[in-house]
Amino acid sequence: MVGSAIVRRLASEGCEILTATRAEVDLRREDEVEAWMRKNRPDAVFLAAARVGGMLVNATSPADFLYDNLILQANVIQRSP
């Protein structure tokens, strides 16, 4: 939802859009993030990715979701231009 809105707005400004699907890169894995960044060399990064699971799963495993989201954000921030 947020990511799609960002993509639409940037596209309306004529920006070249690069996206990374879960199948292409696991943002929780530092080596995969580093390889993607080295290959694609983006000028700017807008991070809207997160691991989500719905209310029941989030309520039963909140630490897992928090950990995964902190790791993926740290990996992307550390490797961003």
Predicted pLDDT of residue 56: 82
User: How is residue 18 written in tokens?
Assistant: 């690069």
pLDDT at res. 27? 96
Over the stretch 22-64, which tens digit does the pLDDT of each residue have? Answer: 899 999 999 999 999 999 999 999 999 988 887 887 788 888 8
Strand, helix or coil for residue 53: coil
Q: What is the pLDDT of residue 55?
A: 82
Structural domain boundaries in the chain: 2-79
Please say if the pLDDT value at position 71 is more than 90. Answer: yes
